[in-house]
């Protein structure tokens, strides 16, 4: 069976050494040695100043909104994983959807200002499939209207924009380290916070709001990463070059054989790629379903990322309609891409897609 992705498992002996250290220290959670080590190494690897590790990417978004004290409306994209929207709703924020650009698949920055009202407190764009948003334009709009910017960078691990980490834009960027991601810690996530003054607040918000043993200044939650997860992250980080090279090989083969036949996502030419996903955009939903069926018959399971468009969710108020997002979501399919996918497998996928266009 070939799924759209597969968890990368690093060297077992190396992971066991970290586990032995954890057993020896007896410190397995509450900002343990492995978490501290991973925070330091990730900050250096990614080229960021302040990083706070958390239990998952959804909690990273949750803590970002709480840290910035957001209220009212937040402008976001309808084309993303559901957590981008649900995390807003769970924090009492109303998502106002900015429709997407049909080529880049990111929030259309030209449509943002028309949706800003006195109740708007933030913009929450997504670097969709690791493709950098128009960060300069978005940040300029936010500054003009005194809005906060939280970038959902769940797909954008190690993406550089004009020579620096894409995570350094906006007020906060969030990452997901779920087991299916390019970099993972089994479960996990992180906040990259550009204001030094907010880092300590985020750290006590992830620990029930406890600032110290005698002070609980705000309502917090339990969002801490544990040391076993951090140990996995340390192992995976050691092997990122292997992971990236294999993904690049598969990505480039897909582009070579399919790029002239179907629509691919337009990439930001000022940014690097991390080869996290390979989406193809078909002519219509009928063609997508035909290709999906042909692949499934061969025990190959691509994924309809992102479907349905989030403006169709029944718990969203006010009701909204984003034509481009709904159209793209109905005919986009992500093909399998992960280390361990052999050449004969991805070439088989290519041939099946070609034969069903």
- Give the pLDDT confidence score for residue 152 in this predicted structure: 98
Q: Is the peptide bond before 70 cis (omega within 30 degrees of 0)?
A: no
Do residues 94 and 227 both lie within one domain?
Answer: yes
70-105: buried (b, 16+ CB within 10 Å) or exposed (e) per residue? Answer: beebbbbbbbbbebbbbbbeebebebbbbbbbeebb
Alpha-carbon distance values, 323 to 311, 318, 327 (Å) = 10, 16, 6
Do residues 299 and 313 both lie within one domain?
Answer: yes
Do residues 186 and 260 both lie within one domain?
Answer: no
Place of tokens 């090989």: 249
Do residues 228 and 86 both lie within one domain?
Answer: yes
Do residues 124 and 195 both lie within one domain?
Answer: yes
Residue 276 near residue 250, CB atoms below 8 Å: no
- Paired with 151 in beta bridges are 173
- Give the pLDDT confidence score for residue 214 in this predicted structure: 84
Do residues 286 and 315 both lie within one domain?
Answer: yes
Domain boundary at 184, 204, 238, which?
238
Q: Collapse the DSSP code of 187 into the 3-class scheme (helix H, G, I; strand E, B; otherwise coil) and give the result.
A: coil
Do residues 197 and 78 both lie within one domain?
Answer: yes
Domain boundary at 221, 238, 255, which?
238
Q: Collapse the DSSP code of 72 into the 3-class scheme (helix H, G, I; strand E, B; otherwise coil) and give the result.
A: coil
Do residues 9 and 108 both lie within one domain?
Answer: yes
pLDDT in tens, 37-47: 999 999 999 99
Domain encompassing residue 195: 2-238
Neighbours of 295 (CB within 10 A): 21
Do residues 225 and 324 both lie within one domain?
Answer: no
Q: Collapse the DSSP code of 168 into the 3-class scheme (helix H, G, I; strand E, B; otherwise coil) and give the result.
A: helix
Do residues 31 and 97 both lie within one domain?
Answer: yes
- Give the pLDDT confidence score for residue 165 in this predicted structure: 98
Structure tokens at 68: 């910035």
pLDDT in tens, 104-133: 999 999 999 999 999 999 999 999 999 999
What residue ranges of the chain have pLDDT lower than 50?
A: none
DSSP state of 10: -
Do residues 247 and 207 both lie within one domain?
Answer: no
Do residues 15 and 96 both lie within one domain?
Answer: yes
DSSP state of 113: G
Element (H, E) at 300: strand 300-301
Q: Collapse the DSSP code of 281 into the 3-class scheme (helix H, G, I; strand E, B; otherwise coil) and give the result.
A: strand
Closest of 103, 70, 97 to residue 84, by C-alpha: 97
- Distance between CA 31 and CA 222 in Å, rounded? 12
- Give the pLDDT confidence score for residue 212 in this predicted structure: 81
- How many domains would you assign to the chain? 2
Neighbours of 172 (CB within 10 A): 28
- Residue 323 sits in a domain of what CATH number? 3.90.1150.10
Place of tokens 């080590």: 37
Element (H, E) at 193: strand 189-193
Domain boundary at 204, 223, 238, which?
238
Residue 280 near residue 335, CB atoms below 8 Å: yes
DSSP state of 147: -
- Residue 54 sits in a domain of what CATH number? 3.40.640.10
- Give the pLDDT confidence score for residue 218 in this predicted structure: 87
- Give the pLDDT confidence score for residue 299 in this predicted structure: 98
Residues 6+ apart with CB under 8 A from 280: 258, 262, 263, 264, 332, 333, 334, 335, 353
Residue 104 near residue 110, CB atoms below 8 Å: no
How big is the CA angle at 95 (ends 91 and 96), to the nearest 5 degrees?
155
């Amino acid at each position: 069976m070939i799924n759209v992705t597969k968890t990368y498992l690093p060297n077992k002996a190396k992971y066991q050494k970290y586990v032995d250290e954890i057993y020896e220290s007896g410190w397995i959670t509450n900002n343990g040695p492995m978490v501290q080590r991973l925070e330091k190494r990730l900050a250096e690897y990614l080229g960021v100043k302040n990083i706070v590790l958390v239990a998952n990417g959804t909690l990273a978004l949750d803590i970002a909104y709480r840290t910035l004290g957001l209220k009212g409306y937040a402008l976001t994209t309808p084309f993303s994983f559901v957590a981008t929207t649900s995390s807003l709703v769970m924090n009492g924020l109303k998502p106002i959807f900015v429709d997407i650009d049909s080529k880049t698949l990111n929030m259309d920055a030209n449509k943002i200002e028309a949706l800003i009202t006195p109740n708007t407190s933030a913009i929450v764009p997504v670097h969709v499939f690791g493709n950098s948003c128009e960060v300069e334009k978005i940040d300029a709009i936010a500054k003009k209207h005194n809005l906060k910017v939280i970038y959902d960078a769940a797909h954008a691990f190690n993406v550089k924009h004009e020579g620096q980490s894409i995570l350094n834009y906006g007020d906060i960027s969030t990452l997901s380290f779920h087991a299916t991601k390019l970099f993972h810690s089994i479960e996990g996530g992180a906040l990259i916070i550009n204001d030094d003054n907010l880092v300590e607040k985020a750290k006590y918000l992830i620990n029930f709001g406890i600032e110290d043993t005698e002070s609980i200044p705000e309502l917090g939650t339990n969002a801490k990463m544990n040391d076993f997860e951090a140990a996995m992250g340390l192992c995976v980080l050691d092997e990122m070059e292997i992971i990236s090279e294999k993904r690049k090989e598969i990505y480039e083969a897909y582009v070579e054989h399919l790029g002239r036949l179907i629509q691919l996502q337009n990439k930001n030419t000022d940014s690097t790629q991390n080869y996290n996903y390979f989406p193809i955009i078909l002519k219509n939903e009928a063609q997508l379903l035909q290709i999906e069926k042909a692949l499934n018959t061969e025990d190959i399971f691509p994924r309809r990322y992102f479907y349905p468009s989030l403006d169709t969710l029944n718990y969203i108020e006010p009701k909204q309609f984003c034509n481009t997002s709904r159209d793209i979501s109905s005919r986009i399919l992500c093909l399998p891409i992960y280390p361990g996918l052999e050449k004969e497998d991805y070439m088989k996928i290519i041939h099946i897609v070609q034969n069903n266009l």
